[in-house]
Amino acid sequence: MTTPGTTPPPAETPRPAEAPHTTRAHSFNAAAAQYAANRPSYPPALFDTLEELAGRPLAGSRVVDVGAGTGIATARLHARGADVIAVEPGAGMAAEFRRALPGVPIIRGSGDALPLADRSADFLTYAQAWHWTDPAKAVPEALRVLRPGGALALWWNTAALDVPWIAAAADRIDRHFGLELSAEQRNVGARAADPAGLLDFVHRTVRWSRRVPLDTHLANLGSHSVFLTDGEDRGAAFLAEERRHLLADFPDGIVEETYVVRLLFARAPATA
């Protein structure tokens, strides 16, 4: 189920601080297959909203999906008929991408220095990826690569913390890893995405859910950087205890994960 809506602009993009930023960013490469198999995708309503804001269809548009990872969002964009090029810095993630989407071109690179020509894209998309960039570099690069009037779209799947079992699970993660997940999720917003204020972001939210086996849910959790960088034994111990908690909530072993996709959308100037 999906429900598009609006949300007031929060303050910051979430960025866990427990491991160095680059260590966490690179941690996904060794877990690329786990990431691809268990991470959630994105609902059709998100792409409907993106087309509505852009005033044009994705079909036939040149879309550059940056920080494409294993291709979860790229596959959705490609299915909408977009002419997609993926950009991904990580070797492990790029290898998994090529296995999943052999017909979609992928270039090694990052949003901080896009390996693309000026004015070559109608859309730049960052799915679950903008927080790994340096906005002081990535924003000017986006403006360089976008065609006049082109669209920059940043989005994140975030846990729906108004669902009681999800709030309780988030609290357990907070206590175990010393995080403040609820505060981080509220802080997906334009100020940290573009500290210099070069872009005028519009905010939208799309709520959706999926039903998955408990093993998939736990593997999804384990594919996040806080688990990948905190030591295998420590993460495994948490996930074993989490299984016990969740079986009490979902005795049939099927978990209903509910997400709120938080979308930031901005246009490049219509003229140079």
State pLDDT tens for residues 14-46. Answer: 433 445 677 766 777 777 889 899 999 999 999
Instruction: Write the pLDDT tens digit of every residue in 47-90.
Output: 999 999 999 999 999 999 999 999 999 999 999 999 999 999 99
Report in angstroms the alpha-carbon separations of 138 from 58, 196, 197, 230.
22, 11, 13, 28
Residue ranges per structural domain of the chain: 3-267
Name the E strands within the chain: 3-5, 62-66, 83-88, 106-108, 121-127, 146-159, 202-213, 254-267
Q: Which of these, 235, 179, 171, 209, lies nearest to 31 by C-alpha position?
A: 235
d(CA 170, CA 12): 19
Collapsed DSSP state (helix, strand, coil) of residue 124: strand
Q: In the CATH scheme, what is the code of domain 3-267? A: 3.40.50.150
Q: Measured between alpha carbons, how far is residue 98 from residues 28, 104, 108, 223 in Å? A: 16, 8, 12, 19
Please name the residue that has the structure tokens 């969002």. 73
- Spatial strand order of the sheet with 62-66 comes to 3-5, 202-213, 254-267, 146-159, 121-127, 62-66, 83-88, 106-108
Q: Are 134 and 159 in contact (CB under 8 A)?
A: no
Contact status, residue 246 vs residue 255, Cβ threshold 8 Å: yes
pTM greater than 0.85 = yes
For 259, list phi and psi in degrees, rounded to 5.
-125, 155
Residues 92-140 pLDDT 10s: 999 999 999 999 999 999 999 999 999 999 999 999 999 889 999 999 9
pLDDT of residue 19: 54
